Structure formats: structure tokens, C-alpha cells
Homo-oligomer: A and B are copies of this chain.
Amino acid sequence: MTDFASYEKSGVSIDANDEMVGQIYASLENTFSPRVIAAKNGFAGMFRLDYNQAFKKNYKNPVLVACTDGVGSKVQLAAMAHQYDTVGIDLVAMSVNDMLVVGAEPLFFLDYLGVHKLEPAFIAQLVKGVAAGCTMADCSLIGGETAEMPDTYRKDDFDMAGFAVGVVERGYTIEGDKVRPGDVILGLASSGLHSNGYTLARDICFKRGRFSMTDQPEGLHGARLGDVLLTPTRIYVKPVVQVLADHRENQVVHAMAHITGGGLVGNVPRVLPKHCDARIDTGTWPVPDIFPFLQDKGPVQTDEMYRVFNMGIGFVLVVDAKSAQAVSTSLADQGEKVFTLGEITEGTGQVRLTLAICH
């Protein structure tokens, strides 16, 4: 009998793909706003830009804003823990929090998953997380792709990329040009590491250290290491979009930064004008347990900690001093932990960190 070559024998299953598409469609549909046009054939996702009167009123000259990001090696941790239904939230968070920075509100999202083997139940868990993130971010999950690549991804390994599109009115983009000395720097609490620095965190916990995901090491006050490391990235969309809408005409929010790889010192300067510094006092917010834990177990030098990790602040707003209290209160009323980190001074586009003792 001839040993025919086939796609299935080479490691790719078309039938498993069909089964998977059926399982995940319900997750997608739950996120659809009335502006989504249901795709009949799956070639493309469609979204009506001009669905309602409010949109036409708010957007005379709409600018589309697009972001893409992954979750870094947090996927490796999810694989270690066999916990697949939360990294999708991280995936959405990374792109939509970036988009907020220019003042945009997210409209829709798509995801790309690269996997070793297409197991429908596993993919459904990943997409469930993405859909949950989209609901938190008020955006519709209108498409995605799952690629089965047995020679690129090892068994149980995978990667994911996310893509968000939003909109901002032409005259209301936030680009940092209004930042001036005296502006107040507000910080919103992160939920932990978010999605950055995991290659270092894993190195410290599982290579240099010999912890397991289920350990409850001293310093984490009873929490399991795996739970702390896998806590999803906080999504700041709803409170920030609300604050921007409330202050749309007087534009009191002068700049924002999503604190990702590079930390406060790497990300805040991206939105500072050249004649300003950001003076941030690190004693103004509580640093979550996981950061001193990692610093101690590394050990890691303090400046490296602030260069790699968010250290407890996930999002920063630079606000006109007169409105800082109102903005802070509004964000707090919507459930954010808000800290006044410092202020803008004359300078050269740098962040000057006043270091407190970290632990």
C-alpha cells in the first residue's frame, strides 16, 4: 500500500480547525456591539463606523488609531500553570491601554494565536480570555486567526498577538504638547507585573530560584506565586475614556502613558515635551509585594527594577494642576486606585525618580 503524504500526517488538522471555529464563535458574539456586521464567510470582520447619531455628533473628522502587542513570555507562565483563560485579558489590555494614550476609545479587536497543536478546548480557553478582555475594554472581538505550527511551537507552547482599532476626533488627539511645568502627575495602580518583564521574573523565580507555581513564599503574604504572576493586566479603558469625555472641551488631560516595558523611566518620557521633566516621588504609592519579592530573590538592582517593571503604577496621566483633584476623584469613583506621583518641572524631557526605599 502506498504511504501517501497528507496534511494530517504532516501535523496539521483541517477538521480540528472547523470544530474549533464552532466552539469559539459564541465567545466572539458575546462581545458584538450593534455596529458589528456578522461575517457570513469568515474572510473578514466588519464594523460600521457611523452606526449612531452620537458617533456622528462626536466625530466630524475621525482619526483611526491602531495598536498591536503581545503579552511577552507571560504565555510561558500560562503554559506552565495550564491556566489559559486569563492571558487573553492581558492581550487586550496591552493594546487598548496603549491606544488610550492618544485619547482614543477602542472599537474592535482581533487576535492571532500560534500553537503547536490545534486542540479546540485549549483554543476556546484562550479566546474566552480575549473575549473577557474585550468586554472589559468595551470593544468587539470581530476576528482572529489560529495557526497550527508544530515545528515552530513546542508542545504546550504558544504565542499570541492582539490588534486593536479605535477612534479619536482629529482636534482632540493627546500628544503631550500641552504639558507644562506645574502639571500634576497622577498614577493608576497596576494589578501586578501586567505583561512586562516576565523573562526576568521567570528567570528569578524558576531558574535562579527553585520556586513552583503553587508555592506561597514568604513575602507574598500567603498568596500563591502562580496566582500573583498570572494576575491579568488591568484595563484602564472605561474610567479614562469617561474622564476624557467629561473634560473634552477644556482638555485638562495633557498627556498619558501606559507603563509597559521600560517602566516609568522608559515610558513617561515618550509623552513629555523637550523642555519638561517629570519629577516622580517613588514613596507616593504602595509597591505591591511581588516587586520587592523579585528584587530580593534576584537580587536585582533598584534602577533595573524601575527600568523593567511597572513597580505598581500601570498608567499615568499628566493633568492641569487646577483640574487634578477633579480628575483624580472621578477616576477613584470609577474604581481606580489613584496616586499623585509628582509634578512636571522645567527640564529636558527626562523622568527624575526620587527613590524611596523599595522594601
Contacts and interface: CB of A to CB of B under 8 A. Distances in A.
Contact of A49 (B49, B101, B151, B266): B49
Interface string A60-93: 0111111111101101100000000000000000
B110 A68 contact: yes
Interface stretch (A225-233, A298-306, A318-326): A298-306
Given A149-B72, A152-B159, A50 B46 contact: no
Nearest to A42: B270
B64 A46 contact: yes
B299 A199 contact: no
A64 B109 CA distance: 12
A288 interface: no
Contacts of A153: 152, 159
A317 to B, nearest CB: 14
Contacts of A149: 72-73, 75-76, 159, 199
Interface in A1-55: 2, 4-7, 9-12, 14, 37, 40-50
B43 A66 contact: no
B98 A44 contact: yes
Nearest to A297: B5
Nearest to A67: B44
A6 B67 CA distance: 28
B67 A199 contact: no
Nearest to A11: B199
A257 B40 CA distance: 13
A9 to B, nearest CB: 8
Contact of A43 (B75, B101, B143, B261): B101
A271 B41 contact: yes
Interface string A220-244: 0000000000000000000000000
A308 to B, nearest CB: 5
Contact of A73 (B45, B65, B152, B308): B152
B143 A5 contact: no
A42 to B, nearest CB: 7
Contacts of A43: 67, 98-99, 101-102, 257-258, 270-271
Nearest to A157: B152
Interface of A: 2, 4-7, 9-12, 14, 37, 40-50, 61-70, 72-73, 75-76, 98-99, 101-102, 104, 107-108, 110-112, 114, 142-145, 147-153, 157, 159, 161, 163, 165, 168, 170, 173, 175-176, 197, 199-200, 202-204, 208, 257-258, 261-262, 266, 270-271, 298-301, 304, 307-308
Given A5-B300, A7-B307, 12 more contacts: A4-B298, A4-B299, A7-B197, A11-B203, A40-B176, A43-B271, A44-B102, A64-B64, A64-B108, A68-B144, A148-B199, A152-B153
